[in-house]
Structure 1
Amino acid sequence: MSHDTIIANQSLHRFDGHDRIWLFGYGSLIWKADFSYIERRAARIHGWSRRFWQGSHDHRGTPESPGRVVTLVAEAGASCAGMAYLITPEVFDHLDHREKNGYLRETLAIEFKAGGHELGLVYIANPANAAFLGDASDADIARHIANAKGPSGLNRDYFRHLADALRELGEHDPHIEHIGQELQKITRVD
């Protein structure tokens, strides 16, 4: 699959006929809601872990030197905290463009922190996409993040915003915390 998933996402007809859809955000969608929404709620999904395994050729890196951003990886027993937004289908044109670098819309159950659940959508970059970087040590991921930048800014700013947003939600994500510890080591050396 190519980097650009806009056409693939536009061909998906999940939730056709619905005038409202829940969208789950687990990365920059937590803190950067640059789209219209009806409602916003803290939420989580089950069976998935957040990982810095996706390349960013268009926002936090370049085609020659991609940054690293988060995607979801299936993991039994895991859960991933984030933010859910109640949106209208018109928002997909913007979101499909924003998430075009390897992310596809998937359907899954969203559990709200305040109680209740709904079926909704999430953008996931799976290993079949051309921008997928995959697993690496926390130290290697931190070095990659520390050195990457793209049109949307420094990769380390993306990381910092995500870590801050998770703290504000009162959430503990060991993957993020371990990479943060490695980034602090790099910063002290720089």
Structure 2
Amino acid sequence: MDGKDGAGAGRWVFGYGSLMWRPGFDYLERKTAVLHGRRRAFCIYSVHHRGTPQRRGLVLGLAAGGSVKGAVYRVDAAIWPQTYAYLREREQPTETYFEAWRPVRLEDGGMVRALVFLSDVNHPQWAGDLSPEAQARLIAGAS
């Protein structure tokens, strides 16, 4: 994927975790949005940000089902290549997500297509639906 959706006035990026409060890239506008068909869940074993290969942690991903409220950012097409490269480096250190363009509903009822990083259930770091107790153990014991 090259991060292109054919949008001429810029491209949208959907964030549901740290991208909401620390995007780390320049954008033209930010809006609250909802992605349907996915839910925020502690479903990814972390060996970089919240753990190590010897002592895995747990981070949020987008699992199937439900809906998730987040933020969408419109990025100027002129800086999209640099922004996309930054996002891939930040979000994909071990390729635990796959990238997709999905429709998201804005607070005003409008729709935009946004780049979304979805959890890859076939990746070795996929944790799936762990019990709340198992999640707490992993989060508390992470390095």
| TM superposition score category, shorter chain reference | 0.7 to 0.9
Tell me if the contact between 2:3 and 2:115 (Cα under 8 Å) persists in the aligned partners. no
Match in the other structure for 1:79: 67
1:61 matches 2:55: no
Q: Secondary structure at the match of 1:68?
A: strand
Aligned amino acid, residue 75 of structure 2: I
Residues 1:45 and 2:32 are matched in the alignment:
no
| Deviation of 1:17 (Å) | 6.8
Sort the Cα spacing of 1:13 and 1:50 in 2 relative to 1 into closer, same or farther, 3 A. Answer: closer
Aligned ranges 1:160-171 → 2 under 5 Å:
none
**Secondary structure of the structure 2 residue equivalent to 1:33:** coil
Q: Deviations over 1:65-120 (max 9, x none)?
A: 22111111221xx2110111112422011110011131221111011113311111
TM-score by length of 1: 0.66
Q: What do you get for the CA RMSD once the two structures are aligned?
A: 1.7
Secondary structure (helix, strand or coil) at the match of 2:136 reads helix
Distance 2:67 2:6 in 1: 28
Residues 142 and 120 of structure 1: CA distance in aligned 2, closer, same or farther (over 3 Å): same
AA aligned to 1:46 is H
Give unpaired runs (5+ residues) of structure 1.
Answer: 1-10, 150-190
Q: Which has the larger strand fraction?
A: 2
**Aligned-partner SS, 2:87:** helix
Would you tell me which structure has more helix in proportion to its own residues?
A: 1
- Counterpart of 1:7? none
Question: Comparing both chains, which one has the higher relative contact order based on Cα–Cα distances under 8 Å and sequence gaps of 6 or more?
Answer: 2
- Counterpart for residue 13 of structure 2: 23
Match of 2:87 among 85, 91, 95: 95
1:14 partnered with 2:7: no
1:134 aligns with 2:124: no
Superposition TM-score, scaled by structure 2 size: 0.86
Gap regions ≥5 residues in structure 2: none
Count of aligned residue pairs for this structure pair: 137
